[in-house]
Structure 1
Amino acid sequence: MSGCDAPNLMLIEDALQHMLATVQPVEQVLHLKLQDSIGFVLAEDLLSPINVPPFANSAMDGYAIRLSDLKQSTTLPLAGKSFAGEPFDGEWPVGSCIRIMTGAKIPSGCDAVIMQENTQSNDEGVTFTQTEVRANQNIRPIGDDIKQHDLVLSKGSRLTARDVPMIATLGISHVNVYRKPKVAFFSTGDELKPLGQPLQDGQIYDSNRYGIKPLIEKFGCEAIDLGIIPDCPETLKSAFQKAQAEADVVVTSGGVSVGEADYTKDILDEIGEIGFWKLAIKPGKPFAFGKLSDALFCGLPGNPVSAFITLYVLVQPLLAKLSGHSQWQAEPMIPAVTKQGFRKSPGRTDYQRGVYSIENGQFTVESTGNQSSGAFRSMSLANCFVVLEKDRGHVQAGDTVQIQLFNSALY
């Protein structure tokens, strides 16, 4: 039996179910200024205190008219002006019109606004050249966008740059949000070298932390970088204790395989407990999950692509639940036709890196090339995952596969 088919490999679906059942969302609520709230999760439903717009206003630069006046004459004298912030508040004589600008308050009695392109000014006033004028034409009614007491955002929504301007239109200056979870992370391995230093024989640069940190932040969490920890049991144990003292979740890369110097599993047995170790996923089989005394633990594989994909596929939904982001959902699978073959052995769900395009309304996909778990260029070139089912074998050109487009965390 091959390693891929080993019966002790947990299915991805079972692993996610176990992880999410372990998580309790953070409860601490912060009262933040609106401009500081992007990326935080709402701790309560947000209801509109006002109508938006709060008054009927003009959608065009033009002229406010009464339909009854326009039936009597297509030329009306000008009675006044209504500007944004300076509404017309005088007497509006019968048989006249009012100059009005976009966003200005609609004068009482106005039936329609005729855009200035459909008018001509002359000594007698304004001549209207539009032949058919509808009631309420170019008028935005009160509450046209949002009505008072409407639910505008639900508890558990993560605030984005699209949400904050909308909240500002309601006059809301502060919002109640959950604090961001803290995630401490470090890399393990004597072979790892910091950037900017020359490599010695057998050494490589530590690239994983440069993928882990931005993803953690894109997931809406506070990232705490503890650097590179050497393969020393005492030093590693101290790093775990420091990490769990500062964070809700501890994420490591490396040290969860079966090598002689992979001490993470042994230390977890000593100061915590392992929920599972080894999954039916490729790349990323040696992924571990468990608990420390004061934090959750996610052990990513050391290979760069494996670490990145398991963080995205497995840790992202865990952190979403921890942050209270109840609206989070994984991107859906989409059928796509392959432009080339994909190599695949049955036994694990395979996340290969691909480039999709749309041709004649049909999704198509091709490989980014080298699919090795150590070849990160395949991630850099990709815009989707080609998700090949656990029991599937090789894929031929022209076959249909499932692809998963990247979400905003990868852009």
Structure 2
Amino acid sequence: MRAPLKPLDDALADLLAQATPLLDVERVDTFDADGRVLREGAASPLQVPPTDNSSMDGYAVRVADLAGQAGAELPVSQRIPAGSAAQPLAAGTAARIFTGAPVPAGADAIVMQEDCEALAGGERVRVNAVPAAGQWIRRAGEDITLGAQVLCAGTRLGPAVLGLAASIGLAQLAVSRRPRVALFSTGDELVMPGEVAPEHMPPGAIYNSNRFFLRAMLRRLGCEVTDFGIVPDRRDATLDALRSASAEHDLILTSGGVSVGEEDHIKPAVEALGELRLWQIAMKPGKPFAYGRIGSAHFMGLPGNPVSSFVTFSLLVRPFLLALQGVADVAPKALNATAGFDWPRADKRREFLRVRLAADGTLERFGNQSSGVLTSAAWGDGVVDNPAGQTIARGDRVRFLPFAELLS
């Protein structure tokens, strides 16, 4: 009797339990750390900004010197560009100041230059607006306080975080090494673009699209990819590829050959070389997904149908690889959205429907939800995560997983 299909959430929990973070840590230049995963947190050795500074070009004043009247005239006692030191502001004077420049001691407001009029060649200024105390002053430490925990281990580094690291003086960061992934496809029907022209394709042949998007998705996740190409549908060839790939890689990722046909050699080959711990998930598309171990290498087998491969990578392989690098939160951020379509055919498996955002903010569904129609993934903005046995009516609230989350 065939074992029941594994629920997706249970399968993901099992996978993440196996994803022990890689031990190797590298120090890389902050310039080169985009997309890497931080392994050491950092507290700020300084406050940002270091001193009170002006957020506008204008004049630093004492509010009391203006006596609450617009049009007051004051002598200009100093000029303060960004990067220079300021002298205390003498009572009854103004200081010409520029964005980012330190606010002189004694000044309690900045008046933007559009509200001022320079007189006598810049030696005096007429202040045509009465400022509130503290106006246009950025206070010392308002962004980062001294000793604050700024970076946390397990953070996946992006442009804003790298800028934050630089703002506290970090020229290098400790990150996880890149996972080493062996990638190959199985199937005698597969042909690489460029090898055979479309008009010369033999009967039954198809171009290998999975190899292209899987390789791109792996690289987006910071992996070092070894491409083993297309492995023939033979047991000996499959065994040789798996044996070779297991030697120096953290993960072996295959596409195709994980079903139950006579030409599907992945499952028995993995069992011959190691162990298969997970096989077949209660999801649509993507049921024939496999996980196991060959020596020290993890193994994941994806379905051959392109949408099935795309979806299972997004929902299972992606979080596993992030966890392998030490990412603290691997769950994609889902949104509540409104269905602009009907889906009256409930399935016994959890479904992932390709959709995109319409102009009115609702989700529209791609017409053909077949697991072989890769057009649906290129057309869509994400998937609706629809529970097993659930129908959808236009106007229902649904769980939407944007591709911006699943492909990042």
Check if 1:25 corresponds to 2:21. Answer: yes
- Look up the SS of the partner of 2:91 in the other structure: coil
Contact 2:58 2:110 in 1 (8 A): yes
Contact 1:387 1:404 in 2 (8 A): yes
Contact 2:334 2:399 in 1 (8 A): no
Contact 1:220 1:323 in 2 (8 A): no
Stretches of structure 1 that go unaligned for 5 or more consecutive residues are none
Q: TM-score scaled to structure 2, two decimals?
A: 0.93
Structure 1 residues 286 and 130: alpha-carbon distance in aligned structure 2, compared to 1, 3 A threshold? same
Moved more, 105-114 or 290-299: 105-114
1:280 to 279, 282, 287: 282
Q: State the Cα deviation string for residues 53-80 of structure 1 (Å, max 9, x = none).
A: 1111111111111233333992111112
- Look up the SS of the partner of 1:42 in the other structure: coil
Q: Name 2:381's counterpart in structure 1.
A: 383
The one-letter amino acid paired with 1:404 is L
Q: Offset of 1:284 from its aligned partner?
A: 1.0
Distance 2:68 2:242 in 1: 85
Contact 2:307 2:371 in 1 (8 A): yes
Structure 1 residues 219 and 47: alpha-carbon distance in aligned structure 2, compared to 1, 3 A threshold? same
Q: Name 2:42's counterpart in structure 1.
A: 46
Distance 1:180 1:161 in 2: 19
Q: Offset of 1:345 from its aligned partner?
A: 4.4
Structure 1 residues 343 and 252: alpha-carbon distance in aligned structure 2, compared to 1, 3 A threshold? farther
1:146 to 130, 138, 144: 144
Structure 1 residues 84 and 400: alpha-carbon distance in aligned structure 2, compared to 1, 3 A threshold? closer
Moved more, 7-16 or 397-406: 397-406
Report the identity percentage.
Answer: 38
Q: Name 1:166's counterpart in structure 2.
A: 164
Q: Name 2:185's counterpart in structure 1.
A: 187
Q: Name 1:350's counterpart in structure 2.
A: 351
Contact 2:181 2:225 in 1 (8 A): yes
Structure 1 residues 113 and 399: alpha-carbon distance in aligned structure 2, compared to 1, 3 A threshold? closer
- Look up the SS of the partner of 1:162 in the other structure: helix
Structure 1 residues 157 and 322: alpha-carbon distance in aligned structure 2, compared to 1, 3 A threshold? same
Give aligned pairs, total.
Answer: 400
- Look up the SS of the partner of 2:293 in the other structure: strand
Distance 1:258 1:371 in 2: 23
- Look up the SS of the partner of 2:385 in the other structure: strand
1:106 to 103, 107, 117: 103
Contact 2:337 2:363 in 1 (8 A): no
Q: Name 1:63's counterpart in structure 2.
A: 59
Q: TM-score scaled to structure 1, two decimals?
A: 0.92
Q: Offset of 1:410 from its aligned partner?
A: 3.2
The one-letter amino acid paired with 1:249 is L
Q: Offset of 1:227 from its aligned partner?
A: 0.9
Contact 1:61 1:102 in 2 (8 A): yes
The one-letter amino acid paired with 1:97 is A
1:407 to 390, 404, 407: 404
- Look up the SS of the partner of 1:390 in the other structure: coil
Q: Name 1:85's counterpart in structure 2.
A: 83
The one-letter amino acid paired with 1:96 is T
Distance 1:328 1:23 in 2: 12
Distance 1:79 1:405 in 2: 57
Q: State the Cα deviation string for residues 310-331 of structure 1 (Å, max 9, x = none).
A: 0101111111111101133222
2:92 to 91, 95, 100: 95
Structure 1 residues 68 and 296: alpha-carbon distance in aligned structure 2, compared to 1, 3 A threshold? same
For the aligned residue pairs, the C-alpha RMSD in angstroms reads 2.1
Contact 1:215 1:409 in 2 (8 A): no
Matches within 5 A, 1:169-248: 169-198=167-196, 199-248=201-250
Contact 1:276 1:290 in 2 (8 A): yes
Structure 1 residues 289 and 72: alpha-carbon distance in aligned structure 2, compared to 1, 3 A threshold? closer
Check if 1:338 corresponds to 2:340. Answer: yes
Distance 2:353 2:366 in 1: 9
- Look up the SS of the partner of 1:107 in the other structure: coil
Structure 1 residues 253 and 84: alpha-carbon distance in aligned structure 2, compared to 1, 3 A threshold? same
Contact 1:331 1:406 in 2 (8 A): no
Contact 1:45 1:151 in 2 (8 A): yes
Check if 1:115 corresponds to 2:116. Answer: no
